[in-house]
Amino acid sequence: INTIGVLTSGGDAPGMNAAIRAVVREALSKGKKVKGIKRGYAGLLNEEIIDMDEHSVSDIISRGGTILQTARCLEFKQPEVQQKGAEICKKHGIDGIVVIGGDGSFQGAQKLANHGINTIGVPGTIDLDIACTDYTIGFDTAINTAMEAIDKVRDTSTSHDRCSVIEVMGRGAGYIAMWCGIANGAEEILIPEKYDHDEAALIERIKENRKKGKQHYIIINAEGIGDSQGLAKRIEAATGMESRATILGHMQRGGSPSCKDRMYASIMGAYAVDILCEGKSNRVVAHADGKFCDFDIDEALAMTKSVSEYEYEIAKNLV
Ligand code: F6P
């Protein structure tokens, strides 16, 4: 490997800059050249490729977002487009690529690997929904941002004796909702992995809890269930309890990364370069069983994981 490309793809996540910085600095320390590819696979196809040196990544470790910017590139699912991507890499002398993103981004990396470009994926998503790893860059910052926002909603919810339905991100996964549900002491945690859609039972629990003296009610609703406005309206109609919905939205993806995100991003970014230099390709960096490691992308994409049954049950007892 002589020249390593780095790109961020899919939804951005706090800590992506720390990962880019680690890729660049680790690669330079090994005498490699580094090229930054802007706007993910879309930028690759448009040849938005820049040379990077140690100064390109100065002062970015504490910044949210991604200096390389990112995009979701549906076009890259087409085989002829993947081949074009690989040809552009070769044209620019890029023989290894580090792709920072989620499962969708790793699928692109897998295809580039099939076309002879050595690729390594680094898990970057606030959703924590990458099965091979117990940690994804951005999750820690996102849950802390969401937790602080939910505390604020709780203040006003308590003052008004209201029911607050607060929707958090996570796409089809309920990790952000689970963590915030427990950390914010929510009365209900609705996550796609577990929710039985028995709204009558949910309303009955709210009524019972009110009888027992609970004056306000916090419901953390995962984006994968959605319809928070509708749910709040239906709760108000059925219980008489004033209800409001708050959708936290993209604020969860921004902000300066937490110490944990900076640390994991730094190690994972450098690890990706190390294994590229060892000649590995088509791998995803992960953190599993207490250590940093890597998996074959095909195997990683076939793995599944889910929220902890135990934690979910405990959450119910802590209401
Ligand atoms: O994958 C990160 C994420 O923020 C998800 O939680 C959410 O479903 C999605 O991205 C939103 O994507 P977009 O910013 O494209 O609307």
The ipTM assigned to this model is 0.98
Q: Which atom of ligand 1 is nearest to the CA of 171?
A: 8
Which one of 95, 127, 129, 140 is the catalytic residue?
127
Instruction: Calculate what percentage of the chain has a pLDDT beyond 90.
Output: 98
> Helix or strand or coil: residue 196?
coil
Written as tens digits, the pLDDT of the chain (319 aa) is 999 999 999 999 999 999 999 999 999 999 999 999 999 999 999 999 999 999 999 999 999 999 999 999 999 999 999 999 999 999 999 999 999 999 999 999 999 999 999 999 999 999 999 999 999 999 999 999 999 999 999 999 999 999 999 999 999 999 999 999 999 999 999 999 999 999 999 999 999 999 999 889 999 999 999 999 999 999 999 999 999 999 999 999 999 999 999 999 999 999 999 999 999 999 999 999 999 999 999 999 999 999 999 999 999 999 8
CA–centroid distance, 133 to ligand 1, in Å, is 19
Q: Is 127 in the pocket of ligand 1 (CB under 6 A)?
A: yes
Contact 237, 207 (CB under 8 A): no
In this prediction, residue 319 carries a pLDDT of 85
Q: Is 174 in the pocket of ligand 1 (CB under 6 A)?
A: no
User: DSSP characters for 21-57?
Assistant: HHHHHHHHHTT-EEEEETTHHHHHHTT-EEEE-GGGG
298 counts as catalytic: no
* Among protein residues, the one whose CA lies closest to atom 9 of ligand 1: 171
